[in-house]
Amino acid sequence: MRRLFPLTALPAPASDVENAQVAAIDVVDRPWTLDELADAYAYPAADDPARTGRTGWLRANMVSSMDGAAHHEGRSQPLSSDADMRIFGVLRGLADAVVVGAETVRKEGYRPARAREAFAARRAAAGQGPAPAIAVVTAGLGLDFGLPLFTEPLVPTLVLTGAGAPADRVAKARAAGAEVLFAGEGLGVDPARVAGVLAERGHARLLTEGGPKLLGQFAAAGALDEMCLSLAPVVAVGDAPRIMDGPAVPVPERFALASVLEEAGFLFTRYRRS
C-alpha cells in the first residue's frame, strides 16, 4: 500500500533531502500495519472545526467498480480485495456503531461485530466498548430476530425505526434482546435524526455501510460527514445501482478530498464535507 495524497513532509527547517526521504516512505508500496491504518482513518477530534454544530460524525464506507456499480449480483464482495477488507475492519474497529439498512442486513448476511485484540487498547483509551454496536435502520422491522445478529451480539444490536412502526414487531425485537430506538415520527426513520439519537446513547463515531438507498437518504438529508470510497479496478456492467440511490438534492453537495491510498490498483479515497 502507498499514500498518494497527502504526502508527508517534515516541518521547516528540515532540509529538502530530509523532506524527500520522508515523502518517499509514503509512496513506497509496502504493507501497512493496522495501527498505521487506524491513524490514517482516525475520527476528527471533538474540537475539530469540521465537527462544529454536529452531534456526531457519520462516515460511510462503500466500494464501487470503475463503471459505478455498488455490487455484483447483489453482493459487494466480488468488488472487494484484501486491502479493502483490512480497511473495512479498521473502520469498524474505530466506530462506536455501524449503521446499516435492513435490506443490506438480509442480502449480506450481517453478523455481530466482533472484538479484535488489535483495537482493544485504542478502544479502551477512547472510552469505547469491546466492539461497535450494529444499528439496523428499518421501517417495518421485517427482520429475522433469530439470527446471530440479534441472538449472539457482544453488545446489543440496535434497531432504528419510526414511532409509527408496528407495535408487535417492536415487541418482538425487544424480546430478542435488541434495543429499539425511535428516530422518526412516522413509520420510518428520519435520516437527519439518526446521528443525534445514537449520540444520546454514547455513539458519536458512526460508520454506515449502506446500502445505496440508506446512504442516499443520509446524503440527501445533509447528514453525511465523510465518504470512504474504495474504487475497484474492475468493470461490472449489469444493472447494479450506484453507491447512493436516494432523492435528488437541489444542488450537488461538494466534499473535499482528505486522503488517497493505493494498493494493487485499488484506490482508497476519503472525502470530508467541505
Mean pLDDT of 139-145: 95
Which class is domain 57-235+254-273?
Answer: alpha beta
Mean pLDDT of 245-263: 94
| Residues in CB range of 228: below 8 A, 6 or more apart | 41, 59, 60, 61, 62, 87, 91, 268, 269, 270
Q: Are strands 158-161 and 266-273 parallel, antiparallel or unpaired?
A: unpaired
Confidence of residue 13 (pLDDT cuts 50, 70, 90): low
Listing from the earlier edge strand, what are the strands of the sheet with 266-273? Answer: 2-5, 255-263, 266-273, 226-231, 57-64, 205-208, 97-101, 133-137, 158-161, 179-182
Confidence of residue 75 (pLDDT cuts 50, 70, 90): confident
pLDDT, tens digit, for every residue of 98-124? 999 999 999 888 999 999 999 999 999
Euclidean distance between CA atoms 131 and 6, whole angstroms: 30
Mean pLDDT of 197-226: 95
Alpha helices in the chain (DSSP H): 16-27, 34-40, 82-94, 102-108, 117-125, 148-151, 167-175, 191-200, 212-220
pLDDT of amino acid 116: 96
**Phi and psi (nearest 5°) for 148?**
-55, -30
Mean pLDDT of the chain: 92
pLDDT of amino acid 76: 86
CB 5 within 8 A of CB 258: no
CB 178 within 8 A of CB 171: no
pLDDT over 60 (residue 1): yes
pLDDT of amino acid 14: 57
Mean pLDDT of 142-151: 94
pLDDT of amino acid 117: 96
Q: Are strands 255-263 and 2-5 parallel, antiparallel or unpaired?
A: antiparallel
pLDDT of amino acid 265: 97
